[in-house]
Amino acid sequence: MSYVSIINSGMILFMVLSNLEKYGIDIDIARWFFPILFLGILGLVFLGFIEDRLGFYRTEIKTSQKRNPQMNEILRRLDRIEKKIK
């Protein structure tokens, strides 16, 4: 996780906790903010680990690395042009 995403998650958590007080749920933001943020980050790391172990990431990489037919045609044409130049 990048620092920007951690800061963004912290801001979203702060907004959620402050909005809970508007709806009558009394919560001490200063006391609960960092433990909830830490547990959330640990949860995301754990879910990422599970996702990696189940192979979802490898399947996603395989799918994203496939080229579409138009790009393959463009690359073939570029190869032919390079061969003609040589």
Q: Quick one: tokens of 25?
A: 């749920």
Say what the pTM is.
0.56
Boundaries of domain holding 9: 3-85
In the chain, % of residues over pLDDT 70:
95
Please name which of 45, 44, 36 lies closest in space to residue 15, comparing C-alpha atoms.
36
Residue 81 pLDDT greater than 90, yes or no? yes
End-to-end CA distance of the chain: 46
Q: What confidence tier does 1 reach under pLDDT thresholds 50, 70, 90?
A: low
| Predicted local distance difference test score (pLDDT) of residue 62 | 75
pLDDT digits (tens, 9 = 90+) for 26-52: 888 888 888 988 998 899 889 888 988
**Number of structural domains in the chain:** 1
Mean pLDDT, residues 22-27 taken together: 83
